[in-house]
Amino acid sequence: MLQISEFKENKEALIAGLKVKNFRNPEEAVEKVLALDEERRHTQQASDDKSAESNQLSKQIGLLMREGKKEEANEVKSKTAALKEESKKLQEKLSKIEGDLEQLLFTIPNIPHESVPTGKSDEDNEELRQFGEIPTLAENKKPHWELIKDYDIIDFELGNKLTGAGFPVYKGKGARLQRALINFFLDEAEAAGFSEVLPPIVVNEASGIATGQLPDKEGQMYQLVGHDYYLIPTAEVPITNMYRDVILSEKDLPIKNAGFTPCFRREAGSWGAHVRGLNRLHQFDKVEIVQITKPEDSMNALDEMVAHVEGLLKKLGLPTRVLRLCGGDLSFTSHITFDMEVYSAGQDQWLEVSSISNFLTYQANRLKLRYRPEGEKKTQLLHTLNGSALALPRIVATILENNQTPEGIKIPEVLVPYCGFDMIK
Size (the chain), residues? 425
- pLDDT by residue for the chain (425 residues), tens digit each? 999 999 999 999 999 999 999 999 999 999 999 999 999 999 999 999 998 888 888 878 777 777 777 788 778 788 888 888 898 999 999 999 999 999 999 999 999 999 999 999 999 999 999 999 999 999 999 999 999 999 999 999 999 999 999 999 999 999 999 999 999 999 999 999 999 999 999 999 999 999 999 987 667 899 999 999 999 999 999 999 999 999 999 999 999 999 999 999 998 555 555 678 999 999 999 999 999 999 999 999 999 999 999 999 999 999 999 999 999 999 999 999 999 999 999 999 999 999 999 999 999 999 999 999 988 999 999 999 999 999 999 999 999 999 999 999 999 999 999 999 999 99
Q: What is the pTM of this model?
A: 0.92
Alpha carbon 350 to its chain centroid, in Å, reads: 23
Burial group, residue 295, by CB count within 10 angstroms (0-12, 13-18, 19+): middle
* AA letter at 122: D
pLDDT digits (tens, 9 = 90+) for 13-34: 999 999 999 999 999 999 999 9
pLDDT digits (tens, 9 = 90+) for 83-139: 888 989 999 999 999 999 999 999 999 999 999 999 999 999 999 999 999 999 999
Neighbours of 270 (CB within 10 A): 15
Separation of alpha carbons 98 and 42, rounded Å: 12
Contacts of 131 (CB under 8 A, 6+ apart): 310, 314, 319, 320
Which residue ranges form the domains of the chain, and what is each CATH number? 4-106 (1.10.287), 122-424 (3.30.930.10)
